[in-house]
Amino acid sequence: PGEIEKMASINLDQYERDDDDELADEYDDDYGNQAVGGYERDDIQATTGQMASLPSELKGLRACMVCTLVKTMNQFLDEGCDNCERFLQMRDRQDRVMETTSNVFEGLAAVHQPNDSWVAKYQGLQMLKPGCYALEVTGVMSPEIDNFLKNKNIPYRAKPPANMTRQSLSSSLT
């Protein structure tokens, strides 16, 4: 086991996967009324006490552009995002991991008790699983995923590169 793995016990959720290549549409139209920061209250209660998978090494780290969770590329491929897998479906899909994560991020915060941490509250992580999170992520989602997230009222935290806005970069990707 790696140095980081020795410091914390790792519990991973088992997510059911669609064989569809399309984005999951498990959330109905009233998603925004039932959610807090893009996550349903039932999901939050179910994850209390469970820890997100910690990065297994320090090289090749990527951050989820929705929740800012930091893992290696292989961990995102093997496990998906511990917070967002239900709707992003990254597991076993390299194209989806590349579209929804970024290797450009600043800072790293290890959050053990998100509800009690002022850093987690300041970063908007108090409803997410304990784990390692980027303080700021730079990147732009593909227009398909961006529209899906907007339609489901799921905010994402990634900021566009300094020289472009999300709208201009999204239009250049199409």
pLDDT tier, 88 (very low <50, low <70, confident <90, very high otherwise): very high
Q: Which residue has the higher pLDDT, 20 or 169?
A: 169
Q: What is the 3-state secondary structure (H, E, C) of the chain?
A: CCHHHHHCCCCCCCCCCCCCCCCCCCCCCCHHHHEECCEEHHHHHHHCCCCCCCCCCCCCEEEECCCCEEEEHHHHHHHCCCCCHHHHCCCCCHHHHHHHEECCEEEEEEECCCCCCHHHHHHCCCCCCCEEEEEEEECCCCHHHHHHHHHCCCCCCCECCCCCCHHHHHHHHC
pLDDT tens for each residue of 123-157: 999 999 999 999 999 999 999 999 999 999 999 99
pLDDT tens for each residue of 20-59: 334 444 433 333 333 444 444 444 434 445 889 899 999 9
